[in-house]
Amino acid sequence: MGAHSYRAADFVSAARRLGLELVIGGDRDDVFGAVATGHALPLDLSQVEIGTEAIRALHAAHPIDAVLASDDQGTLLAAHAAQALGLASSPAESVASANHKRVFRDICQAAGLPQPSFREISLQDDPRALARGLRYPCVIKPLHLSASRGVIRCDDAAQFVAAFRRVAALLARPDVRCRDAALAGRALVEDFVPGAEVALEGLVFDGRFELLAFFDKPDPLDGPFFQETLFITPSRHPQALQQRAQEVVRRAVAALGLRHGPVHAEARLHGEAVTVIELAPRSIGGHCGRTLRFGSGMTLEELILVQALGGAGLDLRRERLAAGVMMIPIARAGVLRAVSGTEAARAVRGIEDLEIAIPLGERIEPPPEGDRYLGFIFARGATPEGVERALREAHARLRIEIAPDAELMSEG
């Protein structure tokens, strides 16, 4: 798994509770000490062949029972390494297809799944010429980024040209690395799909998708940018529509050829139709997995680890309580000066925890340039409506001070 990840610490905690020995692999060895309980394996996640050989060498000296990725950056290496060791995994080709936004669209289209019109473009092209051949509204998104980074809705040609240049500038930044040269400098343009957005969390057993949780996203995600905030489960959408969404995701999993492990899908519900926007061969991002408990209290990470080790008879039933998380939105770019009101927010009935994920003094920015969350608020309650109210009230009690860039320049 990747060490430089929101998810790594939760997997380490799960491994401790299960009494498992964990090896953390990644290219940020300065964080190994913060999360690792035993071994650390320095890896460049973009060097799949070299990384696979490093994991194979570790296995020869210290047998490995499963290889997992904590986030998108490690999924392809994890699949290659697992295959090389003869361990349960999805085929590396299927994982690569899921990670490639245009290939994913091609496969879903060939399988007869509802898809927006789409085309792959180069950011070396003339945006004005491209704009004349597009249908609006559309969305531009880099092929290799995640967490809504670089995703922009365009309602006309002028907006597309501006968005194209903004995405090109983002991809030229030194802190934006593309691990796959074939994806660098390329983007997907697709029709904007209207409707409510939802997320489906599941596990794949021998190619069969099993739902773990169905999340509503109550805040509209209509653009021009797509900063996510609320995830609430269980869903309040009609049961028939939820079943249809599950079936579409099952068909997408089958079309990709995914065989084993966690899957996180994002879909749009528009009328009676369901469109899968993205499907990732890993678990839900950020700390959102902390909202989920199964069976007799097993966490999402524990469930994933036990499945990876071949555990049978897992209880996949989610707890009866409703649950939710708010990824605290970033209002504007600047330096995080102060966060107050956290105790008042924690005092809201139904709130279980609140975490500010970014240290004071660091520069922050919202999507489409930013890729981090300011923090997370977690709630549980008898109903999804009550959970949503608690999260919104807790957020309203926070006071977040961000020094704008102009102010920083004047201070300098």
CB 78 within 8 A of CB 67: yes
Q: What is the mean pLDDT of residues 317-331?
A: 96
| 411 has a pLDDT exceeding 50 | no
Contacts 24+ apart (CB under 8 A), 342-348: 342/398, 344/397, 345/377, 345/394, 345/395, 345/397, 345/398, 346/394, 348/379, 348/390, 348/393, 348/394, 348/397
CB 261 within 8 A of CB 307: yes
- Per cent of the chain over pLDDT 90 is 78
The model's confidence at residue 26, banded by pLDDT at 50, 70 and 90, is confident
Mention every residue, 6+ apart, whose C-beta is less than 8 A from residue 75. 69, 95, 98, 99, 280, 281, 282
- Per cent of the chain over pLDDT 70 is 93
Task: Give the pLDDT confidence score for residue 28 in this predicted structure.
Answer: 58
Task: Give the pLDDT confidence score for residue 30 in this predicted structure.
Answer: 41
| 194 has a pLDDT exceeding 60 | yes
| 71 has a pLDDT exceeding 90 | no
Q: How many helices (H) and strands (E) does the chain have?
A: 13, 19
Domain at 117-191, CATH from 3.30.70.380, 3.30.1490.20, 3.40.50.800, 3.40.228.10: 3.30.1490.20
Task: Give the pLDDT confidence score for residue 147 in this predicted structure.
Answer: 79
Mean pLDDT score of the chain, rounded to an integer? 91
Structural domain boundaries in the chain: 8-96, 117-191, 321-412
Task: Give the pLDDT confidence score for residue 34 in this predicted structure.
Answer: 42
Task: Give the pLDDT confidence score for residue 181 in this predicted structure.
Answer: 66
Tokens 């009676």 identify what position? 272
| 38 has a pLDDT exceeding 80 | no
Burial, 91: exposed, middle or buried (Cβ in 10 Å; 0-12, 13-18, 19+)? Answer: middle
DSSP 275: E
| 240 has a pLDDT exceeding 80 | yes
CB 332 within 8 A of CB 404: yes
Contacts 24+ apart (CB under 8 A), 209-213: 209/246, 209/249, 209/250, 209/253, 209/254, 209/263, 210/316, 211/246, 211/316, 212/292, 212/294, 212/300, 212/303, 212/316, 212/318, 213/291, 213/292, 213/318
The model's confidence at residue 404, banded by pLDDT at 50, 70 and 90, is confident
Task: Give the pLDDT confidence score for residue 179 in this predicted structure.
Answer: 66
The model's confidence at residue 361, banded by pLDDT at 50, 70 and 90, is very high
Tokens 């555990």 identify what position? 311
The model's confidence at residue 406, banded by pLDDT at 50, 70 and 90, is low
CATH code of 321-412, in short, is 3.90.1170.50
**Which range is least confidently modeled, 14-18, 23-27, 65-69, 291-295?**
23-27
Task: Give the pLDDT confidence score for residue 31 in this predicted structure.
Answer: 43
**Which range is least confidently modeled, 124-138, 178-192, 202-216?**
178-192
The model's confidence at residue 18, banded by pLDDT at 50, 70 and 90, is very high
Domain 8-96 sits in CATH 3.40.50.20: yes
The model's confidence at residue 372, banded by pLDDT at 50, 70 and 90, is confident
Task: Give the pLDDT confidence score for residue 412 in this predicted structure.
Answer: 45
| 13 has a pLDDT exceeding 70 | yes
